[in-house]
Structure 1
């Protein structure tokens, strides 16, 4: 990180204001070259930007943040320009011509913040989720993670684990002395308490459900009204509807938010027995796979054929001759709208229970797996009596904690994480 990077950190022009960030050892020199001098630290200053006094680029607010108490942990400058495309292009071209400066790649500012100890890995993942948040639940959960809720908890667990490990190491090193010949009397309870605390986090709703939406699959036989109900729930003509059986041939998904709860609705091909239509058979196989992966299935068919835990829906109640389904959870007509509001309210209430509570941090797959490793190691340590084996189990738990907040990482994993960010972040 000896070079200096720059990028547009605000939205694509045209806009009222455009913000260009410059980070690295030559940030101050770049600011002097454009504005003529170095302004007072952390105070907005009005300057005329130019590469030569005769050719001004823009009149802008400039800010200077000397390292290392900055967002990236190194010298940082910001240029608040007029947001026209030509203005931004001209200033970026001027920066690109300066020695030691280059355009940033996606996520590079945040990666430097991580490398310089300004944030840890869990906070970086929370920041990535915050940038992609589309609902209030997603935003509040990401804010908690980016603010270090999980990081502080892991540090607390790690400190407690280090104290336990020190007692075990004392037994290994000085086991021949009377006062340290056995594990401490409260060893088992301390290990059990730590494992229970980790288990509490593992039982929380997952970040994937929050990020991707609560997955609801509409399933049933052909011509049961699945596509019409799907269109009504997502409030768009997303699926083709027709009286012909087998109109839907594939799994069609649409992400929507209802009362701030993210959902992913899936319309599927009608389920039936053997068919000579090869394409329809593929659609049926995909429909069965979707049903198996669903968080909730809305079943629009014979109750005897319903998947386990599916909601029985009596659809098309506006049509005469429809067989009554006395135990249906909801009776709806996607054509007249009858029963749809009650179904939506029920879905929202059910979906909220599967989501993190507002403001709670949620574990992603990587974090969940590492905490699972830590818990397994702690449980194993509590069952061992040999101090050497206990020490190894505790070491495994520490490794998992360290990997979770970024004390032990791989470049491939970091590349995948920071590649989720935009160029100016």
Structure 2
């Protein structure tokens, strides 16, 4: 069965000065002939009138023709750079729909065809999805590294090494009756250990999801300790209600912000105390305790030494008459006057940069991390074995994990979930 030719607007939502309508599939060339009445020179922009089936002029557009397979999707591909008004786009899409064998694209269908036709692998597709959803500079840089093939090259090099090690095992098994080749090559186990160590170092890196979630900072302390005032100062908005009345904050308040391109999630919580004034406040305290467990960092505004292990001691309300100094605070500040806020933000930036993937550094997502952990587990087992058949089986298990990692072996459900993240036209 011949695959349908798809089309969709691939530029921003109209209206706009220019809209790009992309056509991909076996009838992309025929669609151009029907719209324009002529053929086009490959990979050269040409100005042409677009005509519908009744001979009515739709628009005058810049037309580009890319015969496959060396295209973004691996298929015949065409682009119409037309005027970006809603009526113009709608008229062209109606004309394309009237052509036999053409249909509107589903979300992510262009990229899925690129994957199916070997133009990109799974890691590059995931990087592209992250790039489209990037909201901070760190997210963009990490996504570009993945989408450009940095991770794919690393995965392929590791897979090639596992294949080489497997071939050595197979050779030893094939010629095990001959004395001079009955053993594995010198350094075989060392090579497995070296590969396992390199993969383990990647597994210990921060994952890419942290760039989307942000470095999670939870403000904690007793009621009326200045948490909400500090929270507002950090997110630079009046997100939380402040009051001298204890217990004003009853629920978790969360805001995501970027500071110098670094993503943060700041969380304001209910004041912690042993006995709550009412059931609603008690629920807020329970939720606050839950947030402490999820935090990357806790800012403790209560009595010194009473916070969680590893929490930063903050001496707040420096301008208040009842200010209580701390012996070794990370920050002394007044959120009302701004004293100490800039220094605290600087320290938070340093902590977040240590915990998040480095700028421009490719980072594993959860799926990639799981598959790579399977490889590391297989290598760890292989280096402890002496039976050649068992060693070969563990290396085969590692190869299969790499195939699932790269996309040579995967499930339709997983692909549906991935490409469903893309917009129509991508």
Same fold judged by TM-score > 0.5?
yes
- 1:113 and 1:277 map into 2 onto residues whose CA distance is 58
Q: Does 1:407 align with 2:413?
A: no
SS at match of 1:303: coil
- 1:78 and 1:105 map into 2 onto residues whose CA distance is 17
Q: Does 1:273 align with 2:274?
A: yes
Cα deviations across residues 212-268 of structure 1 (Å, max 9, x unaligned)?
Answer: 211111111111111111111111111222222222222221111111111111111
Deviation, structure 1 residue 211: 2.0
Matched ranges for 1:383-394 at <5 A: 383-394=384-395
Greater Cα shift, 396-405 or 177-186: 177-186
Q: Which residue of 1 aligns with 2:200?
A: 199
Q: Which residue of 2 aligns with 1:218?
A: 219
Deviation, structure 1 residue 278: 2.3
Q: Which residue of 2 aligns with 1:247?
A: 248
Q: Which residue of 1 aligns with 2:113?
A: 112
SS at match of 2:170: helix
- 2:240 and 2:374 map into 1 onto residues whose CA distance is 43
Q: Which residue of 2 aligns with 1:361?
A: 362
Deviation, structure 1 residue 276: 5.5
Q: Which residue of 2 aligns with 1:186?
A: 187
SS at match of 2:313: strand
SS at match of 1:336: coil
Cα deviations across residues 86-142 of structure 1 (Å, max 9, x unaligned)?
Answer: 111111121122211111111111000000000000000011111111222211111
Q: Which residue of 2 aligns with 1:335?
A: 336
- 2:403 and 2:17 map into 1 onto residues whose CA distance is 43
SS at match of 2:43: coil
- 1:370 and 1:181 map into 2 onto residues whose CA distance is 33
- Count residues with an aligned counterpart: 425
Cα deviations across residues 16-48 of structure 1 (Å, max 9, x unaligned)?
Answer: 111111111111111111111121111111011
- 1:231 and 1:93 map into 2 onto residues whose CA distance is 51
Q: Which residue of 1 aligns with 2:77?
A: 76
Q: Which runs of 4+ in 1 moved over 3 A?
A: none
Q: Which residue of 2 aligns with 1:313?
A: 314
Q: Which residue of 1 aligns with 2:419?
A: 418
SS at match of 2:344: helix
Deviation, structure 1 residue 206: 1.4
Deviation, structure 1 residue 54: 4.6
Q: Which residue of 2 aligns with 1:16?
A: 17
Point out where structure 2 has 5 or more consecutive residues left out of the alignment.
none
2:73/2:113 contact within 8 Å kept: yes
TM-score (norm 2): 0.97
Matched ranges for 1:57-136 at <5 A: 57-136=58-137
- 2:286 and 2:397 map into 1 onto residues whose CA distance is 42
- 2:244 and 2:97 map into 1 onto residues whose CA distance is 61
2:221/2:227 contact within 8 Å kept: yes
SS at match of 1:232: helix
- 2:204 and 2:403 map into 1 onto residues whose CA distance is 21
Q: Which residue of 2 aligns with 1:347?
A: 348
- 1:241 and 1:36 map into 2 onto residues whose CA distance is 68
Greater Cα shift, 323-332 or 170-179: 170-179
SS at match of 1:416: helix
Deviation, structure 1 residue 277: 2.3
TM-score (norm 1): 0.97
SS at match of 1:324: coil
Q: Does 1:168 align with 2:169?
A: yes
